[in-house]
């Protein structure tokens, strides 16, 4: 696997410094767009413009798509109208729409001014779909065939228009008013006799998405059905665009990052870590920190209300972090397992009782094992060896802690596993129910269980 090494980057940098553009052009022309964009990312703006102009047109457009929106905006402003049109000509419709979506109004206006009426109409149509819909990630450049065509005619059409479509490997068979009748892979076309009729060899079991379907669900279909492209239809079953597998991968990766961020109490961001400014990072993290800090004062209030009694048996305080921590960890294990299973489609609301029954058994075993280990540790190390317990009430304290552990683990697993399912059923985002919120709820619950059992046995 080739990687961009530090040495290679330094070599490129020195070529830029020496203004050795001929050699630069040779090297860059043989590289992948994503790698060129990464290397240019560190270069000075004016160098980027010079180097960008060296690249062959198609490659230049591909590199342009890989840049972040700040760099794209800089380049668009630096381009002449002619250069702008050349780059736009090479872009696929979905990429063009994505770029315009990120630009300030003046730049977007200039881009649209430099496209023909037909392209402008299509871009505006793509921009109108909601951000998280299938329509927002589809492209409108695909190959459509008629049912009456022969294989030979179909291949001719592919040769004619293939260069400007995002994929030629799946073709779409449509009738009047673009109604979708079937799909036909280039593989089947190539492997069929030249005089076979498209309508007879096409695949009529179409897996398709609706323009307003959630893009996350649509991306999951690529995982499930191993497709390279998926047709997108409107309410009347008319073909309006296609989604290709590379865009589906992007969605899957973004959604995984978003889930991970939400589980860590961060508001999801679209930029990469180092590209996000300090203030922006601060803003994505402070809401949950504030909310969790304030909700943690409830835990504090619970402790305060037991303050007088705790002062009499201060040894109990030392076990608060362990009990709260174990409760939080047990709960987040269960909630994260359930959330991931929900998002992969492995469980649904109707499975809630199977989940509860499973977590009940798992938590009982786990709670009992933890209690036994804890008792052994308290008895052998703290009591017999270190003599930490010397108040006379030691046995009651040990029993209190071990019983609390079992209850805390069971309650934590049940709360942690059911909250996400209930949240999803209520139309809320189950991921928000993950670690931090569940942990904070469980902190309070664990303490109440602890003090409740302690009140009965000791205080």
> Among residue numbers 172 through 191, which ones bind its own copies (CB under 8 A)?
186-187, 190-191
Our CA angle for 435, 438, 441, nearest 5°, is: 140
Q: Does 418 bind its own copies (CB under 8 A)?
A: no
Q: Which is nearer to its own copies, 68 or 101 (CB)?
A: 68
Binders of its own copies among 420-449, rule CB under 8 A? 435-436, 439-440, 443, 447
Count other Cβ atoms within 10 Å, centred on residue 322: 13
Smallest gap from Cβ 111 to its own copies, in A, equals 23
Q: Which is nearer to its own copies, 322 or 395 (CB)?
A: 322
Q: Rounded to 5 degrees, what are φ and ψ at 44? A: -75, 150
Q: Rounded to 5 degrees, what are φ and ψ at 203? A: -95, 115
- Which helix (H) or strand (E) segment is 296 a member of? helix 278-305
Binders of its own copies among 213-272, rule CB under 8 A? 213, 217-218, 221-226, 228, 245-246, 248-250, 252-253, 256-257, 259-261, 263-266, 272
Residue 313, beta-bridge partner list: none
Token pair in block for residue 201? 């060899």
Q: Which is nearer to its own copies, 18 or 282 (CB)?
A: 282
Binders of its own copies among 139-178, rule CB under 8 A? 155, 158-159, 162-163, 168-169
d(CA 85, CA 110): 10
Please tell me the number of Cα atoms within 13 Å of 311 on its side-chain side: 4
Q: Which is nearer to its own copies, 76 or 412 (CB)?
A: 412
Site string for its own copies, 14-33 (x = CB under 8 A): ----------------xxx-
Binders of its own copies among 71-130, rule CB under 8 A? none
Q: Does 337 bind its own copies (CB under 8 A)?
A: yes
Q: Does 377 bind its own copies (CB under 8 A)?
A: yes
Q: Which is nearer to its own copies, 83 or 340 (CB)?
A: 340
Q: Does 385 bind its own copies (CB under 8 A)?
A: no
d(CA 316, CA 442): 18
d(CA 105, CA 109): 6
Binders of its own copies among 277-336, rule CB under 8 A? 278-279, 281-282, 285-286, 288-290, 292-294, 296-297, 299-301, 303-304, 307, 310-311, 314-315, 317-322, 324-326, 329-330, 332-333, 335-336
Q: Which is nearer to its own copies, 290 or 384 (CB)?
A: 290
Our CA angle for 130, 236, 209, nearest 5°, is: 50
Residue 292, beta-bridge partner list: none
CA 171 to chain centre: 29
Q: Which is nearer to its own copies, 77 or 360 (CB)?
A: 360
Cα separations in angstroms, 265 against 269, 434, 437: 12, 9, 8
Q: Which of 219, 204, 209, 203 is nearest to 241 (CA)?
A: 209
d(CA 243, CA 170): 11
Q: Which is nearer to its own copies, 108 or 352 (CB)?
A: 352
Q: Under rule CB under 8 A, how many of the chain's residues touch its own copies?
A: 121
Smallest gap from Cβ 277 to its own copies, in A, equals 9
Smallest gap from Cβ 130 to its own copies, in A, equals 16
Cβ contact 216:251 at 8 Å? yes
d(CA 289, CA 140): 43
Smallest gap from Cβ 394 to its own copies, in A, equals 14
């Amino acid at each position: 696997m080739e990687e961009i090494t530090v040495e290679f980057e330094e070599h490129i940098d020195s070529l830029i410094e020496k203004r050795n553009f001929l050699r630069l052009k040779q090297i860059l022309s043989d590289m992948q767009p994503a790698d060129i964009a990464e290397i240019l990312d560190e270069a000075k703006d004016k160098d980027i413009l010079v180097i960008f102009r060296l690249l062959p047109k198609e490659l230049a457009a591909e590199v342009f798509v890989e840049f972040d929106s700040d760099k794209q905006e800089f380049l668009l402003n630096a381009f002449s109208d002619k250069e702008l049109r050349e780059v736009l000509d090479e872009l696929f419709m979905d990429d063009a729409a994505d770029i315009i979506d990120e630009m300030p109004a003046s730049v977007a206006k200039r881009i649209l001014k430099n496209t023909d009426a037909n392209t402008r109409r299509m871009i505006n149509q793509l921009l109108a779909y909601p951000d998280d819909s299938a329509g927002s990630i589809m492209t409108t450049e695909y190959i459509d065939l008629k049912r009456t065509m022969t294989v030979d005619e179909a291949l001719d059409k592919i040769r004619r228009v293939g260069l400007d479509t995002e994929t030629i490997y799946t073709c779409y068979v449509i009738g009047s008013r673009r109604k979708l009748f079937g799909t036909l892979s280039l593989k089947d076309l190539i492997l069929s006799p030249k005089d076979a009729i498209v309508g007879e060899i096409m695949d009529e079991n179409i897996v398709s998405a609706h323009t307003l379907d959630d893009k996350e669900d649509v991306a999951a279909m690529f995982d499930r059905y191993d497709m390279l492209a998926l047709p997108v239809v409107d309410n009347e079953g008319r073909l309006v665009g296609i989604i290709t597998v590379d865009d589906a991968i992007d969605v899957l990766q973004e959604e995984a990052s978003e889930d991970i961020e939400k589980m860590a109490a961060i508001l999801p961001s679209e930029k990469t870590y180092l590209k996000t400014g300090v203030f922006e990072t601060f803003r994505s993290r402070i809401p949950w920190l504030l909310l969790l800090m304030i909700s943690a004062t409830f835990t504090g209030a619970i402790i305060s209300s037991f303050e007088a009694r705790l002062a009499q048996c201060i040894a109990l305080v030392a076990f608060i972090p362990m009990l709260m921590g174990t409760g939080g960890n047990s709960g987040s294990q269960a909630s994260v397992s359930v959330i991931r299973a929900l998002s992969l489609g492995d469980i649904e609301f109707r499975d809630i009782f199977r989940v509860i029954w499973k977590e009940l058994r798992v938590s009982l075993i786990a709670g009992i094992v933890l209690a036994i280990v804890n008792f052994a540790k308290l008895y052998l190390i703290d009591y017999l060896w270190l003599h930490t317990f010397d108040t006379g009430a030691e046995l009651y304290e040990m029993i209190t802690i071990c019983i609390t552990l079992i209850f805390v683990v069971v309650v934590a697993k049940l709360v942690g596993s059911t909250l996400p399912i209930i949240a999803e059923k209520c139309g809320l985002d189950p991921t928000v129910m993950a670690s931090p919120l569940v942990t904070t709820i469980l902190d309070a619950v664990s303490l109440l269980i602890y003090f409740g059992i302690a009140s009965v046995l000791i205080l």
